[in-house]
Each structure stands twice: as C-alpha cells, then as structure tokens.
Amino acid sequence: MPQLEPVPLAEVLAARNRIAGKANRTPLVRLNVDTAADIYLKLENLQPIGSFKIRGAGNAMLKQKRATMAKGVYTASAGNMAQGVAWNAKRLGIPCHVVVPDHAPKTKLEAIERMGARIIKVPFDEWWRVIVTHHFPGLDAVFIHPVSDPDVMAGNGTIGLEILEDLPDVDTVLVPYGGGGLSCGIAAVMREQKPDTKVFACEVETAAPFAASLERGEAVEIDRTPTFIDGIGGKSVLNEMWPLASNLLSGSLVTSVDRVAQAIRTLVERNRIVAEGAGATPVAVALTGDAGSGRIVCVVSGGNIDASKLAAILRGEIPD
C-alpha cells in the first residue's frame, strides 16, 4: 500500500461540500465543570447515527461511481463505522455487509440491522485481520476501510474545520484513538490552518497501542483487555497509519477505565450529554489535567452505549 500523506486541505473542503445536508454540523459547547482549562465538547454524538463515522463513510461512498458500487459495499467495524456505511448505503439504495467482532455491543448491532445491513459476526482476531488486509473472503463488493482510506480521513477532517470556525484560538484538541483515521484527519487540518494547535490521541490503559508504539518508535502489537470501551483499543497501530499518526499527532494521553466511566457520569450530570466509552475518553483525559490548560476541545466521537451499561455507570459501577 502506498505511504499515506496528510489529507490536503482542498480534499477536506471538498468533503464538507459533498456531505453537506447528510452529516450534521455539530455544536461546540463548554463542559460545565470548573477546571484550570477551558474545556469544550465537540458533540459528534448528535449525528443521525450517533457517531462521527457518518462523515468519513459518506465522503468515501459519495466519491465512488454508482456503477462501481453496483454489488454494494462492506466494512469491518465494531459498530459506528458499520452504521456510517449502512446509513449511507440505505440512502444510496445499495446492498451493505458489515463484518463485526464477536464483542460488538447490542445497541450498535440493532442499529446496523435497522439500517438494512447484513451482519457477519466473527472472532476478534479474524475481524482485525480484515482491517489489516482490507479484505474479507467471499464478499464481492467495495470495501470501505474504517481508518486508512484518505477519503474517510478527509470526511473526518471536516470536524477540524468546524472546530476552528467556532473556536479559532483553540490550543489543544483531544481525539479518541481507535485506528487514527479521526485524529489524523483533524490533525491534517490543524497543521495547515493552525499549526500551533496540538492534537493528542486519547487511549485507555487496557488497550493503548499508539502509546506503546510511540515508546518503541515503531508500530507494535499489544496484549489488550476488552472493556465496555469498545470503540477504541485495537491490537496494534496499523502499519500504514504509523508514519502518518506519529508525524501528525502530538502524542498519546492514556487514562483509566474508571476515569472514563466517571467522565460519562460527568457528561450526563453536568451537560445532559450521553457519550459512549470512546467518546468520553478525551473528557476523562482533560479532567485529569494531563492535557494542560488553555482552550481544550474534546471530540465526543459517539454516544452509542448500551442502556444497561449506561445505567450501571450512573449507579457508580463499571460494566463489562
């Protein structure tokens, strides 16, 4: 695979026009907590599918020729990219398959089925192999990669444009790190439009492959512990993403499962916002002070959390 380069600003601007009227321009609001930093929330949980993935999936699919997608599309996703691809496929009137890992949460699986996509559930290692190889045997359709597709990253980068429009003097942007497609899309925009703004990956200590790779100076595989934080925490940094992420991002800030659960409670109690584990991870990092002071934007990447898990967290418990 050719080495990935930062997405050009022109591609992000074109993506914004392409997905206008399909993806929402989400609000940026203050977190109602007194801290040394001014913490803001970029509310991607308010997208029609409850996640930012509608942006990248929409841009990548709308750039395809309809004839190319005649046999449909497919992706590999724990839930949110699956919904992004399925939502766009339904509106384009084309078939959609989704390869999901066996731990995918019920809420996300039900949403995928409501959108008319066919689910193929496989063990985690087999699912991860699809992401690494960009292929699932037996499916003759267009594969929409959830991370390392430049068109997906361009769609994700539209979030960066909106942040700068709403908060031009932003100092730091905190982004959940699953595979790097979101953080690198936003960071590419910041580098071109406001290069003094730092963009950090945010990971959870039970599965932090980017932090481990930065420590080693190369993409490495880790031993991961599954938690309720299902939207981030892969086995490794993808080889094709390592040069891009290590160049664009200011580092990785790692937090605990307990702090993520507390951040979810804080968002509900202080701002009446529902976030899933991945979406609350930047907030958990910001509240520890690890991201420093100044004007900090936390990208709340999604809100697709099982109701039972949310209820447990609000009771002060840590769900599986």
The reply to whether 9-51+150-314 and 54-143 are identical in fold is: yes
CB-based contacts of 295, cutoff 8 Å, min separation 6: 37, 38, 40, 167, 169, 170, 171, 172
Of 124 and 212, which is predicted with more confidence?
212
In the prediction, which pLDDT does 103 show? 80
Q: What is the CATH number of domain 9-51+150-314?
A: 3.40.50.1100
Instruction: Judge whether residue 3 has pLDDT over 80.
Output: no
Residue 314 has pLDDT above 70, yes or no: yes
- Arithmetic mean of pLDDT, 50-61: 96
Give the three-class secondary structure for 121.
strand
Instruction: Tell me what pLDDT residue 2 has.
Output: 65
Helix (H, G, I), strand (E, B) or coil at 43: strand
What value does the mean pLDDT take over residues 247-260?
A: 98
Buried b (16+ CB within 10 A) or exposed e, 108-124: bbebbeebebeebebeb
pLDDT tens digits, 163-219: 999 999 999 999 999 999 999 999 999 999 999 999 999 999 999 999 999 999 999
Q: Are strands 142-143 and 172-176 parallel, antiparallel or unpaired?
A: unpaired
**pLDDT(235) > 90:** no
**Residue 294 carries which DSSP code?**
E
**Domain 54-143 classification at class level:** alpha beta
Choice between 233 and 260, residue whose per-residue pLDDT is larger: 260
Which residue matches tokens 């499962």? 257
Quote the pLDDT of residue 20: 96
Confidence of residue 234 (pLDDT cuts 50, 70, 90): confident
Q: Which two tokens stand for residue 286?
A: 């910001």
Domain boundaries, the chain: 9-51+150-314, 54-143
